[in-house]
Amino acid sequence: PYLVMEFVSGRSLEKKICSVGHLDVHEILRIGSQLAQGLAAAHKQGLIHRDIKPENILLENGVERVKITDFGLARAVHDDLNLSYAGAVSGTPPYMSPEQAKGERVDHRSDLFSLGSVLYAMCTGKAPFLAENWLAVMRRVVEDSPRPIIEQNPDIPRWLRDIIAKLQDKDPERRYQSAAEVSELLDSHLLQLQHPASDDFILQRT
């Protein structure tokens, strides 16, 4: 038996960030919306990715269409055998959710925290949680807030910083509750930026 996979000619979001540093707001919204849309599709099929990070996001050459890769840690939402082992930690520390870092049971909202961390990296050019070793990073994920985006990139608007902060809330109940909602929200703000004359269409929803 064998598995046929799509070949994607392009580079990872990680390489793009390393090359250019922080991205402009239009790019952040475009890539972020597509990423959220991809997560929504996976979640609809009952899958949790559990390792959303810039390295696992491919940008197709030319159009930079977003492709989510490496579902090696993905698990079904109702797969109790894989999702509820106490103390089991899977993922990449700078981008994992607090519940992942604590080895707790996770659901689709864990991916939303990671989405927020990827958006943070696109805004600042850096991962949100950094420390001298992985254990210290995981402790920061659980206990600390990331360095404020405005201190690193004052060009990021307040409404986008608020969206990211809500995605990165330590409590899953206080995050956005679906990737589809986040995709729609980012799309709406992108549309407003592309058509700034529509002053009556300014969206403040966060």
Domain map of the chain by residue range? 10-195
Closest CA to 195 of 185, 203, 204, 205: 203
- Evaluate if residue 1 carries a pLDDT over 60: no
Residue 200 DSSP one-character state: G
> pLDDT tens digits for 30-54?
999 999 999 999 999 999 999 999 9
Q: How confident is the model at residue 89, as a pLDDT?
A: 63
Closest CA to 43 of 90, 109, 95, 89: 109
**Mean pLDDT across the chain:** 87
Residues 116-133, mean pLDDT to the nearest whole number:
98
pTM of the model: 0.86
- Domain 10-195 carries which CATH code? 1.10.510.10
Is the model more confident about 172 or about 63?
A: 172
Most confident of 8-17, 43-52, 70-79: 43-52
CB 119 within 8 A of CB 13: no
Is the model more confident about 89 or about 113?
A: 113
- Evaluate if residue 153 carries a pLDDT over 50: yes
Is the model more confident about 56 or about 81?
A: 56
Rounded to an integer, what distance in angstroms lies between the CA atom of residue 170 and that of residue 96? 11
> pLDDT tens digits for 93-106?
999 999 999 999 89
- Catalytic residue set: 60
Rounded to an integer, what distance in angstroms lies between the CA atom of residue 82 and that of residue 152? 38
Strand-pair partners of 58: 12, 67
Q: How confident is the model at residue 70, as a pLDDT?
A: 76
